[in-house]
């Protein structure tokens, strides 16, 4: 239901707001006061008519018409139609946000149509003829068809009949071509058997070719083997000599290995002899080692005595601090005693006794 219409810079309206109530709403006023402009603004929002720039005031700035609708009390939607110097837009505002539309030409965006459900059939001016009464029978039928969408049914039936006709034509043509093809190829029935025989012959031919290739390969291999056998006969003595050469090489390797081991043993023996000589030089080191052990024990003993001395020094310092504290407390006690005796009267204020 339309709840409010706001018009800005549309014909004679600079800024006009109209709120509609449930039921019938009547707009009254003097002639040329802008009543028809309100209807034109409503038609401009709902149907994008009139077009052009004639309804805009040069001095008024941008033209805008806002149409508010209400599905129920807590869900309102607003359609905004705006025309500026460089922009021509529709917008839908609802609790979910704002959706804008542009470049729609002379039409109305489908979302706007579905929201308002407000077409030119819903608007009539004072100079229009009575609705349907002044129309021809064809025009009335066209309106009624549009209302109940009979035009879609007619269009669908026309399309279905055309499709059926086209398909029947294609079916007849294909059937005739198939029959002609069957007649034309009836004389070639024997080709299936001939094709089977041809496939069998090709298989036998391929098998024969493969067997011939294998035979040629075997003959070539036999010739190569015979040639190798003759060559081996020529070099039979070389083979025996090669065996002897291998044995000689193994003996030479063994000789070299043993020679290397002997050289290594000689080096080790020389090193042992040198070590024995060095040991003889340092035969008195053992006695020095015993002296070193004794000195190390004395050092450890002195370190322990040093630690004990440090502990005694710490203890002495602590005792000195205690004695100093005792002397200070003793002096403080003497001072307090002197103050007490100075403040204490000769006669007791409680019992009246004196010294």
Q: In this structure, what CATH number is given to the domain that contains residue 26?
A: 3.40.50.300
Rg (CA), the chain: 64
Q: Are residues 67 and 174 in the same domain?
A: no
Last residue of a domain, one of 128, 144, 176: 128
Which tops the pLDDT comparison, 8 or 281?
8
pLDDT of residue 348: 63
Q: Are residues 63 and 158 in the same domain?
A: no
Q: Does position 276 have pLDDT exceeding 70, yes or no?
A: yes
Classify residue 322: in a domain, yes or no: no
Kind of pairing between the strands at 2-10 and 13-19: antiparallel
> Which residues have CB under 8 Å from 69's CB, separation 6+?
1, 2, 3, 76, 77, 78, 79, 115, 116
DSSP 81: E
Phi, psi of 91 (to 5 degrees): -145, 150
Percent of the chain surpassing pLDDT 70: 88
> What pLDDT band is residue 91 in, cutting at 50, 70 and 90?
very high
Classify residue 246: in a domain, yes or no: no
Kindly report each contact of residues 130-135 with a partner whose C-beta sits within 8 Å and lies 24 or more positions away, as own/partner. Answer: none
Classify residue 312: in a domain, yes or no: no
Q: Are residues 178 and 86 in the same domain?
A: no
Classify residue 156: in a domain, yes or no: yes
Q: Does position 355 have pLDDT exceeding 60, yes or no?
A: no
Q: Where are the beta strands (DSSP E) in the chain?
A: 2-10, 13-19, 63-72, 75-83, 88-94, 97-102
Q: Are residues 110 and 178 in the same domain?
A: no
pLDDT of residue 122: 76
Q: Are residues 96 and 74 in the same domain?
A: yes
Q: Are residues 95 and 145 in the same domain?
A: no
Q: Are residues 11 and 120 in the same domain?
A: yes
Q: Are residues 40 and 152 in the same domain?
A: no
* pLDDT average, residue stretch 106-114: 88
Last residue of a domain, one of 189, 219, 241: 189
> What pLDDT band is residue 156 in, cutting at 50, 70 and 90?
confident
Rounded CA-CA distance 333/328 in Å is: 9
pTM score above 0.75: no
Geometric angle at alpha carbon 97, from 95 and 99, rounded to 5°: 130
Last residue of a domain, one of 108, 128, 148: 128
Classify residue 351: in a domain, yes or no: no
Instruction: State the chain's mean pLDDT as an integer.
Output: 80
Q: Are residues 154 and 99 in the same domain?
A: no
Query: And the tokens for 349?
Result: 């204020």
pLDDT of residue 345: 64
Q: Are residues 138 and 116 in the same domain?
A: no
Number of domains forming the structure of the chain: 2
Rounded CA-CA distance 254/201 in Å is: 71
Q: Does position 347 have pLDDT exceeding 70, yes or no?
A: no
Rounded CA-CA distance 98/80 in Å is: 10
Q: Which domain holds residue 25?
A: 2-128
């Amino acid at each position: 239901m339309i709840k409010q219409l706001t018009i800005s810079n549309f014909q004679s309206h600079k800024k006009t707001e109209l709120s509609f109530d449930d039921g019938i709403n009547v707009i009254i006023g003097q002639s040329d006061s802008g009543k028809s402009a309100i209807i034109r603004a409503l038609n401009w929002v709902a149907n994008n008519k009139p077009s052009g720039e004639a309804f805009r005031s040069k001095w008024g700035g941008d033209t805008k018409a806002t149409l508010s609708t209400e599905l129920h009390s807590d869900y309102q939607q607003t359609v905004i139609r705006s025309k500026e110097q460089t922009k021509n837009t529709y917008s839908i505002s609802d609790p979910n946000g704002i959706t804008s539309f542009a470049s729609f030409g002379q039409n109305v965006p489908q979302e706007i149509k579905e929201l308002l459900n407000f077409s030119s059939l819903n608007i009539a001016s004072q100079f229009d003829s009575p609705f349907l009464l002044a129309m021809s029978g064809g025009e009335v039928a066209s309106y009624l068809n549009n209302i109940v969408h009979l035009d879609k049914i007619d269009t669908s039936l026309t399309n279905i009949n055309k499709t059926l006709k086209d398909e029947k034509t294609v079916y007849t043509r294909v059937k005739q071509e198939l029959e002609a093809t069957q007649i034309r190829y009836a004389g070639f029935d024997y080709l299936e058997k001939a094709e089977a025989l041809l496939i069998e012959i090709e298989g036998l031919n391929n098998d024969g070719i493969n067997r011939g290739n294998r035979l040629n390969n075997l003959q070539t291999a036999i010739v190569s083997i015979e040639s190798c056998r003759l060559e081996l006969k020529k070099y039979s003595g070389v083979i025996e000599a090669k065996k002897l050469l291998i044995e000689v090489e193994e003996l030479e390797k063994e000789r070299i290995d043993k020679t290397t081991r002997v050289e290594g043993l000689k080096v080790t023996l020389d090193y042992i002899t040198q070590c024995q000589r060095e040991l003889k030089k340092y035969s008195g080191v053992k006695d020095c080692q015993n002296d070193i052990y004794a000195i190390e024990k004395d050092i450890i003993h002195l370190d322990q005595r040093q630690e004990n001395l440090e502990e005694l020094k710490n203890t002495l310092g602590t005792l000195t601090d205690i004695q100093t504290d005792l002397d200070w407390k003793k002096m403080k006690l003497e001072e307090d005693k002197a103050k007490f005796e100075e403040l204490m009267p000769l006669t007791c204020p409680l019992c009246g006794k004196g010294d």
